[in-house]
Amino acid sequence: MLLGEKFKKVFLLTFAVFCFFTWGQVGQAAVSHQVAPGDTLWLISQRYNTTVAELLASNRLTSSTIYPGQVLSIATKVHTVSPGNTMWLIAQRYGTSLPALIAANPNVSPNIIYPGQKINIPTTTATPAAAPLPSRGGHQYGQQDIDLLARLVHSEAAGEPYTGQVAVAASVLNRVKSSIYPNTLRSVIYQVAYGYYQYSPVLDGRINLPANRTAYQAVYEALNGSDPSLGALGFYNPRKTSNQWVRQQPVTTVIGNHVFFR
């Protein structure tokens, strides 16, 4: 055997082993989705990065009518996590989106995955090109921004209704586009005005704790334009603050334990 051919075979074998340990194995599976009030097949298809036609076929539905409590089957691939994998890298590898990947794995923490763990991959994937950055109000947000906002939502509102978590994310994004606050997400979250931190998790360090799946979903919903805060620029829990300034601001809505104000 020529030396060049031998080197080529060794290289190809090494490359194959590298790919195996970098990306893991892929199988087939399905996840279940319980229909919630307000769900439609189109919304569910967007969440899981699939199509209405595939949902109709895989669930043997003869119409697009669905009802709360109904359980739908979502076809997926299964990725076995290898060392160095992250949810974002896996999403990029399969040409899907991070929110679709998170939605397909309701029992998986987006920030904590481990080798050998099984990750469901939505079967209908986009072209494996770099996905566009999420945007809102003329601002674009990268993965670090999304992670930071999700951690804030988690630390501020983990025990609040899901709508309230979306409202918290939206109120922060409203500050970014407001002329009276800093114009970057990081600057808004870490802002200290007149000696006061704007968000208590930044002061006590809870901002550094990993966010859960719900917090990420709330962030993406807010980035897609949802604003249950009704244009609020802030929020507070009346039972946890004695700040008189926030109590004097115009209230936009109340969700759970949070009062949202403009």
Kindly state the average pLDDT of the residues 29-58. 80
What pLDDT is recorded for position 185?
97
pLDDT at residue 45 above 60?
A: yes
Cα radius of gyration (the chain): 22
Element (H, E) at 71: strand 71-80
pLDDT at residue 127 above 60?
A: no
pTM greater than 0.85: no
In CATH terms, 23-122 corresponds, of 2.40.10.220, 3.90.79.10, 3.10.350.10, 3.20.20.60, to 3.10.350.10
What pLDDT is recorded for position 216?
87
Q: In what order do the strands lie in the sheet with 258-261?
A: 234-236, 258-261, 251-255
Burial of 117 (C-beta count, 10 Å sphere; 0-12/13-18/19+):
middle
Under CATH, what is the fold of the domain 135-261?
Answer: Arc Repressor Mutant, subunit A (1.10.10)
What pLDDT is recorded for position 176?
97
Longest dimension (CA), the chain: 84
List of residues 6+ apart from 104 with CB closer than 8 A: 31, 48, 49, 74, 76, 120, 121, 122
pLDDT at residue 129 above 50?
A: no
pLDDT at residue 171 above 80?
A: yes
The segment(s) of the chain belonging to CATH 1.10.10.2520 are 135-261
Provide the pLDDT confidence category of residue 130 given band limits of 50, 70 and 90: very low
Higher pLDDT, 28 or 138: 138
The segment(s) of the chain belonging to CATH 3.10.350.10 are 23-122
| Residue 98 to residue 143: CA distance in whole angstroms | 9
The DSSP-derived string for 103-145 is HT-TTS-TT---TT-EEEEESS---SSPPPPPEETTEE--HHH
Residues paired with residue 26 on neighbouring β-strands, in sequence order = 79
